[in-house]
């Protein structure tokens, strides 16, 4: 009878251990799914921000805007350089 009780206890312990491992695996999978969803949202937000900043950069660098800035009084002292004033510096290998 004592031997049967020990075997029964060990069987219950093995079943409980298996259930615990299964529950732990489900928990990890759920955690990874949640992290994936959160990171996907963050990626989408960063991509939208990147598009917005690219558009803003295109607007700032547009030739029409640069020409309008060149006509403003605070930039009137600037002029395009002539070839004699341009220095080309090359990097040595």
pLDDT single digits (tens) 36-62: 999 999 999 999 999 999 999 999 999
Give the whole-angstrom CA distance, residue 53 versus residue 13: 59
DSSP structure class, residue 25:
H
d(CA 43, CA 32): 16
DSSP letter string, 33-79: HHHHHHHHHHHHHHHHHHHHHHHHHHHHT-HHHHHHHHTSGGGTT--
Q: What is the pTM of this model?
A: 0.54
In angstroms, the first-to-last Cα distance of the chain is: 87
pLDDT in tens, 69-93: 888 999 888 887 888 888 888 887 6
Distance set, CA 23 to CA 4, 16, 19, 33, 90 (Å): 28, 10, 6, 15, 64
């Amino acid at each position: 009878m004592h031997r049967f009780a020990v075997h029964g206890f060990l069987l219950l312990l093995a079943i409980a251990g298996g259930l615990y491992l299964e529950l732990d695996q489900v928990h990890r999978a759920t955690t990874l799914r949640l992290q994936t969803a959160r990171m996907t949202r963050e990626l989408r937000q960063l991509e939208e921000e990147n598009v917005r900043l690219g558009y803003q950069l295109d607007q700032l660098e547009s030739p029409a805007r640069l020409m309008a800035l060149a006509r403003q009084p605070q930039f009137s002292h600037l002029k395009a350089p002539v070839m004699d004033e341009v220095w080309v510096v090359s990097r040595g290998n």
